[in-house]
Structure 1
């Protein structure tokens, strides 16, 4: 994913991170501090929802000579699809790594990296199935909205998966699901005419008379739908506050640190991704959806529980901060509407 450091460079970074009692990072942060986080919604006009996240830098699109930044944009698109017995939640994540974000990569390497990050983003967001699936149904057992999340990495200065998940959360927060109206089709039987009745013998006249009194209507399940609003209108997702968040713990026993920049990732290549959600019904509760250990080192079994407990605390603070920011964006949008 990135070029390696020399042993002396890697040793300098790791010894600074392990310094006691005051670890040192090149940008002055503590081990558990994130860089500045900028989140923005409605950045893609033709999408059903979109979001942008920037970790570090100035938080602007034109990142200059300031702190290194990781930036990602995610657009959410809805397509109609048929429901079959093998269908899952109806979610597809696709990540595109731009050459400007990875100038040292060849095109095949960019394709491989894009595929790996797409799988990681899909895994991180698959846990939102219980929130998304019921709200994407159009006609039960027949049709639903298929949600496509298309992400573009503008720049990568480290911790790109956390950046992608934050941008995807903003896009899902911004998502508007079009309101639909089911169309019920009715089949009406032919009403017998008087001439037809005259040709029937007396023994069948009584039965025919009951049919002549009125046509029988057979209702069929809804087979199609129509939009109630314009395409860019719709309803926001319910329980948006419970959408998942991802935190990455970079492991340098006996310590770990958050939001590694590129040089730190090269010096400390072992890290663990954790995806949590926090149900709105019980804010004190938390759900760990998945963990993924990446890198050459293993971790002792006894260290897993403390790492998960620590990750839950970091994810909770991230969740609360994102919800405050995104709710503020909603109020600001409503004020200008």
Structure 2
């Protein structure tokens, strides 16, 4: 399959255009903060009750530390599930507690949110053991905290904390005893993500030799861009970082054929094409639409790949190591189609949403 013109994002999203159209640092608030009660009170009552109920289920969650020996499981026995169960449960809990506080707005969940933030900030590594490496101690089974690794789940964790600060930062800061928590979030995101991304010239997921980049590239960039837009206050540093993100996503796109097909399998679309959409959507939102690139043919083809691979129900054409049954992130698919103006993709997102509701599945 023929390749699309190289570096299509860098040609469109130049540093001069980023400088001209991006919102000022600190001004970007794409979702209403918790103190905007008018916005949160506009939620349908059933949805509000659901969000509060989900938070209540995690209100008394025990933020027990993850032991070093649990991290070592992967090196010692190959087991990764014990660590990952604890790792992802913590983030799942914080996610629900944040939304519950936003929906209710009474402060009932704030201490639990702060416990979650602090516990996650205390972790030595925000990623998972298979993604950890220690250059100074190559045989180590524990993370080297002086060499932060930017992996999929470190980036996801940073974005979770950045959005938490965006939504609840003013409420946390209102108590002088806890105002330090939002500073801690900023410090950790800078130390673990922004500075390593800026200062390390080469990450394996950014340039894989002669091989096209895989889903790690847009998956990480979508979360990094959110962190940069929400955390970085220096306009020149922010411009430098976002320009690098744009160039980095071009590395990913340069490996695509003009048909937009995902070589990793249909199941990976949600962490490849859909993550690319999410990254580009943050730039669109941060520029009042001036940096939209939905008219680029390759972007549209990447979106349409999903409905083209659909067979029936949850079944999709599978190849590579992609599963045949896929639980589609309906919201991302619907919004992707809405932005590109592709009715087939937005309709597929709506179809997936109806199935998720009917089967009791929730997108997160």
Query: Structure 2-normalised TM-score?
Result: 0.24
Q: Kindly indicate which of the two structures has a greater share of residues assigned to strand.
A: 1
